Structure 1
Amino acid sequence: MLEWIRFAIVVSAMIIAASVLLRSSSIGMGWLPLVALLRAAVQLGAVSLLLGGVATAPWTAVLFVVLMFSTASLTTARRARELPRGRLATVAGTIVGAGTAITVILGTGLVGLIPQSVIAVAGIVIGGCMTVATLSSRHYLAGVRARRDEVEAWLSLGAHPWEAVDLPRREAVREALIPNLDQTKSTGLVTLPGAFVGALFGGATALEAAQFQLIVLAGLAFGGTITALLTTRIASRSSVLPADPA
């Protein structure tokens, strides 16, 4: 009981402090960190209950993966509402990118078709691709806005929309992938990712945990690259330029 009380106090103190610091600095995020953590707590509680039934009903793992895809799609679509064709671009990018990477990992037998393993791999890859879709769409939006005069000049010369926005599109892909690739480069020296630590806690040897982590990192790089390229490619096909912020 004492452990739970200490857990609640420390976690609450950290997240409230983060929210207060943001509000006092006039960042404009309100109580978002606190709201996000409360939402995460509710969702993790529900997930814990659902995972308890996976062992007795393995088919529920498929439903859980579908739920993760749906939630990720809704999240990215909401973030891309200012971008013409943004919702379609981010949803397609997330589903195709994550789906391709997960299919390769599971289809080649790198990870066994054990419900818990499937959910773990799918959750990490889908989450990573969701982040890449959001970053690529937002960087693309900012890039096109910043280069509006240049883009309009290319269009006036008869260039196709995707040709006129090629430079901000490529910059958006690069910026969206850098955070994940930087984390990959620093793995083992600066960070110990959750997949590695989780595998160790689950009873795997250090070598097995490292192998699992490398599979996940490769899947994130592969799926994220597809996501960023497809998201920006679909967005660049729009003949309508994004409006300037009000």
Structure 2
Amino acid sequence: MSDAPREQATEVPGEPPAEPGTHLRVAVVLLVAASGAVETISFTALDHVFAGVMTSNLALLGMAVGRAQATGVTAAVLALAGFGLGAAGTARCARRQEGTATHWSRPVLLCLAGEALLLAAGAVVWAVLGGAPGRAARDVLQFGAALTMGIQSGAMVAAGRAAAPTTYLTGTLATYIVKGVGAGRPNRWVPVRLAALIAGAAACMAVLRTAPDWAGLLPPVLVVSALLSAGAPANRSRRAAPGGE
């Protein structure tokens, strides 16, 4: 049997490639802010590893091995495993989709919805435990946080030109400096994404300090907001269609 038809881009030969709409760029910014919030909880309130920055976690794993620190090794391995599983699962879900610059495909949106549900479940567990989980709960939450960041990273790869990195921005910053500022063609959305990472982390840290039970709520709210932004044109089209509400 043949594969299911792939989603095709709607570009016209000879015309400049389509650019993502503002609604998609805003959705990416919101996802970056969500990743900043998740990293804050992961690094400061769990076991001092990152949920979405696996390069750093590999270095942290090496340092933990060098110090013979079992807790650090466990945390880094859990983060690496969770991220890998999330990214692999998303790749399987979206494997027959070709990214376009105009919208996020249904599988991408479903994966991000799954991420939001997992983050919401983690927020409930965090609140029930009073923002102070024990050893076993921290391990579960660490794995879950990395799982969500793996899903988000995989979804942005599957979205192709309609998206951008949201969990690891070192390459984004380097490209912006070399090919943007250095070449006189800076992308104004890159500083916005970098600022969103800082803002998401700062906001989550403020909640951790003042109302730790509620710190887990910010990431799922931001991901849901990103989904609403990404689907805004489709929702408007349905309302405008004859017979629409």
TM-score calculated relative to the size of structure 2: 0.35
Which of the pair is proportionally richer in helix? 1
Higher relative contact order (CA 8 A, sep 6+): 2
